Amino acid sequence: MIPVNVITGFLGSGKTTLLKEILRHPDFSDAAVIVNEFGEVGLDHILLEQVEEGVLLLENGCVCCTIRSDLQQTIRALQDNVAAGQIEPFRRVFIETTGLADPSPIVSTLLAEPVIRNHFRVGNILCTVDAVTGLRALEQQPEAVKQIAVADRILITKSDLADEPATDLLENEVRRLNPFAPTRRTIGSGFEASSLFARDVGTEEGRAREVADWFENTSHSHGHQHDHSNQSGSARAFTIEFANRIDWAAFGIWLTALLHAHGERILRVKGILNVHESQTPVVIHGVQHMVHPPLHLVRWPDESRKSRLVFITRGIEEARIRASLKAFLALAERMKGGTEIPAVDGVEYHG
């Protein structure tokens, strides 16, 4: 399937600069690029020809098009152009969001729309963060917090324009908000763009390689609790662990119900689960209301066999989620074979 990589970030954080760096790289000449407006991206200097209204061929071989009435229509139009022989087949897609956009609907489109889901999958979500204005954006703009929370890669831009202590403070806050994502600094040019997309977390191999990384990071950063209620719009990350094996069906019911009831508050969830139904771990990955298909790893990434979940949330108490899951799994163990599991702290399921 074709990976769809998303470039997000708050206003003025360097998304267009990053996109231009990508388009200059020969490794990405087999890409389709979806932007909101050609004028915003400033691609005139690399325009080769116009295939049809809203679709451009670029000098490096990429296809560039604008988002039409919605993303589904745009992606389907690209597919139609390939099928009609109007453009060459592409092997990856880059989408640049607007500075105020929430990337979650893009993920929802790729996971929920059946025709698109058969041909495309989510690749890496990359977020650019301005070293000069990033802290202020996080304090004042909830969109900036959400963009960081859902990212797989984070690039702190304009690091040459901000003083070192301020950039360190920003980087610490970014890592606190999203302990999953590798974070790098750049002055806006000269970096290796391919490295940002080389480890595609949408593939089974890529996700398996990253599992050990993000739990090692979160175990160091979140082994004890902190009160961050006054930072970054009350967004925070925390880890939940279970030593015993858990029931996969019961967990799935609980997570589905949780995201249905509180999806806007659950910015991100990742986890590795030790379930009764499998000898090897199951990896889950959710963005707000949507959950990627679960991934069964071939082996455990380390000696621990604990089930570990990392949440990034905003506006819902950590203690509430912990208590709800613990109570739900306990009830499920006692009620195996039944047809109904009662509500636990607002999370309800009827089978």
Reference 94, options 207, 181, 11, 196; nearest CA is 196
Name every residue whose Cβ is closer than 8 Å to that of residue 135 and which is 6 or more positions away in sequence: 166, 169, 170, 173
CATH assignment of the domain containing 326: 3.30.1220.10
Indicate if 8 and 95 belong to the same structural domain. yes
Q: Give Cα 83 distance to the centre of its chain.
A: 30
pLDDT at 342: 47
Indicate if 174 and 256 belong to the same structural domain. no
Indicate if 261 and 277 belong to the same structural domain. yes
Indicate if 263 and 297 belong to the same structural domain. yes
| Residues facing residue 273 across a β-bridge | 282
Residue type, 142: P
Indicate if 209 and 190 belong to the same structural domain. no
Number of domains the chain is built from: 2
pLDDT tens readout for residues 334-350: 776 554 544 444 444 33
Indicate if 232 and 175 belong to the same structural domain. no
Residues in the chain predicted with pLDDT less than 50, given as ranges, are 44-45, 47-48, 221-230, 232, 339, 341-351
Indicate if 10 and 83 belong to the same structural domain. yes
CATH assignment of the domain containing 113: 3.40.50.300
Strand 340-344 versus strand 347-350 pairing type: antiparallel
pLDDT tens readout for residues 203-262: 666 666 666 666 565 555 444 344 444 454 568 888 898 888 888 988 998 999 898 888
Indicate if 33 and 148 belong to the same structural domain. yes
Indicate if 122 and 259 belong to the same structural domain. no
Which residue, 127, 162, 196, sits at the end of a domain? 196
Indicate if 252 and 297 belong to the same structural domain. yes
Which residue, 151, 176, 196, sits at the end of a domain? 196
> Residue 303: which domain range?
204-350
Indicate if 147 and 220 belong to the same structural domain. no
pLDDT at 68: 67
Which residue, 196, 220, 252, sits at the end of a domain? 196
Name every residue whose Cβ is closer than 8 Å to that of residue 274 and which is 6 or more positions away in sequence: 242, 245, 246, 281, 305, 306, 307
Indicate if 302 and 252 belong to the same structural domain. yes
Residue type, 284: I
